[in-house]
Amino acid sequence: MASDIDQLDLCGLADAIAVGNVTAVAATEHALAQLEGTGRALNAIVRLDAEFALAQAEAADHTRTRGAPRQLLQGVPLAHKDVFYRAGHLSEGGSKIRLGFRPAVTATVLQRLDAAGAIDCGQLQMSEFAMSPTGYNEHHGPALNPWGHGHVAGGSSSGSGVAVAAGLVTGSLGTDTGGSLRHPGAMCGLVGLKPTWGLVPTDGVMPLSASLDCVGPLARTARDAARLLSVIAQDDFETGIAGGVKGLTLAVPGGYYRARLTPEIETALQDAIRVFREAGMTIVESKPPDMGPINTLMHILLSVEAATLHKKWLLERPQDYASQVRARIEPGLFYAATRYVEALSLRASVTQAWLESAMPQADLAFLPAISFTVPTISSTIEGAADDVARIIGDITHCTRAINYLGLPAASAACGFDSAGLPIAFQLVGRPFQERVL
């Protein structure tokens, strides 16, 4: 049965459990064994709770056998980034500072997964306080990319990307403040979906930047991502997903978004565009606005809001932050209040200008997810500080502004590089147009 389970994606596993071909207990026992074995070898696991998960699985099986209406995720084992609070359970945010923290509340998204019958196996590795696009964590070490253990898995939802890509679970929730779902999605060969800001509730989730934070899924397929989003957003994003793309218009912005592409990535992206064209999409070239000011506005929001949350710890426990993380938070202490309010007040007009320029009269925009091949772990932690900072900054080149704009975006795989690591594109939609994505 284990080998059969390994062949199933999230929706396939949900279907198998619904008809009784697989029990929730068997699926959960299999996932726990995979997480405990391969998951720990890849450093993707923070903690597992087998007793809690199996109790949920037994309840799911009981619900099915007594003929209750089918739930969307009934009996499907999942595991999530260690930022989602469950009352009384540990939630440490990849940090040293929050070791031993047990919240008194449960995140709304976990409550919705519970209500849909999902099984929560435990918490997954992440960047410290969700502050790295590579998955960097000085306290717990990096999660290892299943496609190449010497390469970064993407962050900050690194453990989620590794666990789904390695087949340990069929789906996972993460968060995205500047690309933290799309980075592991791109680097691990998955669909990483950042919803429109505000679509999915973030209460009971460890915050980083309230104006930018989004909760979304990492999954193997678009349908799996749609199933998870349907549950956590309480809407139907799955119906119609097989309808195809014929008649849609895809804008391909140049300039900023093409300037740093390496030849290998450029070739793969062009191949992906060709596939969309052959599938019936109209392809149009476009030009984005000047991205420098937009990135600056995004940086102001992120750093000020993060510094506000961390100010007390920065003053009292600066030594308990990794230097790379502290260096990214501290600048927020020095921005004038007028700059922060300006960044908030300009958001709507800047978003409208980006839409009009980057995707005029188009349904979607096609962007790189990452402009270069997946970097090695050593290149992001060793060597000259300026070189390391440049690589880290380049990873977010195509993702970070989308959070400021509040738009929905998804990364998806489109091939492999010469080293066997995934290559991905990024699709950006109009506000609340997740169904098109």
> Residue 4's pLDDT is what?
84
312 a catalytic residue:
no
pLDDT tens-digit profile of 247-288?
A: 999 999 999 999 999 999 999 999 999 999 999 999 999 999
Distance CA 193, CA 214 (A): 10
Model pTM greater than 0.75? yes
3-state secondary structure of 405: helix
128 with 157: CB under 8 angstroms? Answer: no
Distance CA 400, CA 222 (A): 22
Beta bridge partners of 275: none
Q: CB 343: neighbour CB atoms within 10 A?
A: 21
Distance CA 344, CA 47 (A): 37
Q: Which of 127, 156, 160, 286 is catalytic?
A: 156
CA distances from 382 to 3, 149, 324 (A): 40, 17, 12
CA distances from 380 to 142, 174, 303, 377, 401 (A): 11, 22, 21, 5, 22
3-state SS record for 123-142: EECCCHHHCCCCCCCCCCCC
Tokens coding 328: 């990214």
> Residue 385's pLDDT is what?
85
Question: What is the rounded end-to-end Cα distance, in angstroms, of the chain?
Answer: 34
191 with 224: CB under 8 angstroms? Answer: yes
Distance CA 245, CA 281 (A): 6
Residue recorded with tokens 């169904």: 435
C-alpha torsion angle, residues 182, 45, 9, 234 (rounded to 10):
-60
pLDDT tens-digit profile of 314-336?
A: 999 999 999 999 999 999 999 99
Mean pLDDT for all residues in the chain: 97
> Residue 2's pLDDT is what?
55
96 a catalytic residue:
no
Low-confidence ranges of the chain (pLDDT < 50): none
Q: Which of 157, 180, 230, 286 is catalytic?
A: 180
CA nearest neighbour of 50 among 125, 121, 113: 121
158 a catalytic residue:
no
> Residue 3's pLDDT is what?
57
Q: Which of 81, 91, 157, 211 is catalytic?
A: 81
